[in-house]
Structures are given as structure tokens and as C-alpha cells.
Amino acid sequence: MSRRPIIAGNWKMNMTRAQATELITALKPLVKDAAAEVVICVPYTDIDTAVALCKGSNIKVGAENVAWAEKGAFTGEISADMLLELGTEYVIIGHSERRQYFGETDASVNARLKTAIAKGLKPIVCVGETLEERESGKTDDVLKTQVTGAFDGISAADAADVVIAYEPVWAIGTGKTATSEQAEETIAGIRAEVKALYGAEVAEGMRIQYGGSMNPKNVKELMAQPDIDGGLIGGASLKAVDFSQVVNYDA
């Protein structure tokens, strides 16, 4: 089954509206002919700017998180309806930094994912192990727990439209990168877990990204792997030329 690659930028807590305008304006002509699906996931304050600038282009706009609740007394959270009103299409859920710094759990990831699906947002669900977990041989168990926890109670039809991003925590923002063989082996394991949950058709159709410091230097080698369907890009997404080189890896 052919899976269209998806390259998504995760700006994290970077870029004012003025900076976002400059970056997107520079990026659009550089990626306009990309074969891969192009997404930028931006801070909440940049969403309206990004949606306006990306209108009519091939760049989709996403958010970096979404609340599990529809509305209510949840200070600091942003609801799916708020994101949709601005024109948001994608949303990142369960990023390792949310897990590490803000108490995100498999249960809260599952609740956010259910809400995103119900509201029509396209989720990018993040899973990944720490260096300690990898070195102690727990990678497979950790990822199985995260995948089964995230997709608990979610139908095969809904799961089929979810993107998974494998992000080894030890490779995020450190400059370290899993070898292409390590990344492929681990992502193949994630796909096998999806197959165990939903069957071969869903597993073969699901797009699974690599999210551990993919950049212009390593993108070709990583994207040559049969189970890697794209990247969730951090640092390289903050520079138009660098991000475009990742997006156009097959050019």
C-alpha cells in the first residue's frame, strides 16, 4: 500500500507573529512542488497568521496541543472548537516535552486524541522512549504501552486516519539521531503493534513519522527506510531553507 509521506514542522515555543510571517513567506515558494504533505504546527498565537498566509498553498496548519474537554474551567487549555474556528487542520498530541514537563500521560493523550477525532482534527500522536529505557532494553515495552494507551477505545476506522510520530526522547534537541536502521526497526515495531490492535490493512495504511532530529543531512537516508513515512521536525523547521530541504528530500 502506498503511503504519502508527511513532513510536519513543530515550532514549539518559538516565533512571534512577525517572525512567523517572515518564515512562511519565505517557505511557500520553496515547497510549492513538494510530493510530500507539508504541515507546520505553530504556537496558538501564530495560528491565525499561519492560516491566512498558507491559504491557497500546499501548506497545512496544525496546533501543538488540544484540550480533552469541549469547554470549561481548564485554565491555559485550548479547545478543539477554538482551533477549528481559526482554520487549524492538524494537531500534535502527546509530545515528549508535554509528557516530560507538563505531566502528560497515556490516559490524557488518549482523552485528547478522542476529542480531536470527534471534532475532525487530524492528530499526530507522539510516542518514544528515553535513553535510560532504550539502554535497559525497554524500548519495545514502552512503545507498546504508549500505543495501546493512546488508542484505547478508538475504532479501526478512526485509527486509520491518525499519524504516529516516533520520537526517541534522547534524540530530541540533542543533535543525536538514531541510525536509519534503529529508526526503521523501531518504527516497524510500532507498525506491528498497530497491526496487532487493528489488523494489517490499518497498519499498512497508517503513516508513521520519525521525530528525532531529522534534518537536511540525514533525511534521505531515513526516508529511504520502508516503514518511515515522514518526519516531525523541530529545529530544522524554524529555517525556511532547512525545512524545505527536508520536505524536498526526494528532489
Please name the amino acid found at residue 145: T
pLDDT of residue 173: 67
State residue 46's pLDDT score: 98
148 belongs to a structural domain: yes
Domain membership of residue 197 as a residue range: 6-247
Q: Name, in order, each residue with C-beta under 8 angstroms of 133's C-beta and a sequence gap of 6 or more.
A: 139, 142
**What grid cell was written down for 206?**
497508517
DSSP 91-142: EEES-HHHHHHH---HHHHHHHHHHHHHHT-EEEEEE---HHHHHTT-HHHH
Q: Model confidence at 99, in pLDDT bands (50, 70, 90)?
A: very high
What number is the average pLDDT over the span 230-237?
A: 96
Q: What's the pLDDT band for 171 if we cut at 50, 70, 90? A: confident
- Mean pLDDT computed over 202-227: 95
pLDDT mean across residues, the chain: 96
* Residue 228 belongs to some domain of the structure: yes
CA distances from 120 to 45, 145, 168 (A): 21, 25, 28
Using a pLDDT cut of 90, give the percent of the chain over it. 91
Let me know if residue 187 belongs to a domain.
yes
Q: Find the CATH number of the domain harbouring 191.
A: 3.20.20.70
Kindly state whether residue 1 falls inside one of the protein's structural domains: no
Instruction: Give the pLDDT of residue 169.
Output: 86
Annotated active-site residue in 95, 97, 133, 193: 95
In a domain, 131, yes or no: yes
Has residue 210 been placed in a domain? yes
- The predicted pLDDT at position 54 comes to 98
pLDDT at position 229: 98
What percent of the chain is helix, strand and coil (3-state, nearest 5)? 50, 15, 40
240, 16 Cβ separation under 8 angstroms: no
Looking at the structure of the chain, the number of domains it has is 1
Candidates 97, 129, 133, 167; catalytic one: 167
Q: Is residue 177 part of a domain?
A: yes
Exposed (0-12), middle (13-18) or buried (19+): which is 70, by Cβ within 10 Å? exposed
183 in a structural domain: yes
**Residues 103-146 pLDDT 10s:** 999 999 999 999 999 999 999 999 999 888 988 999 999 999 99
pTM attached to this predicted model: 0.96
For residue 95, indicate whether it is catalytic.
yes
What pLDDT, on a 0 to 100 scale, did the predictor assign at position 1? Answer: 55
- Round to whole Å and give the CA distance between 161 and 147: 15
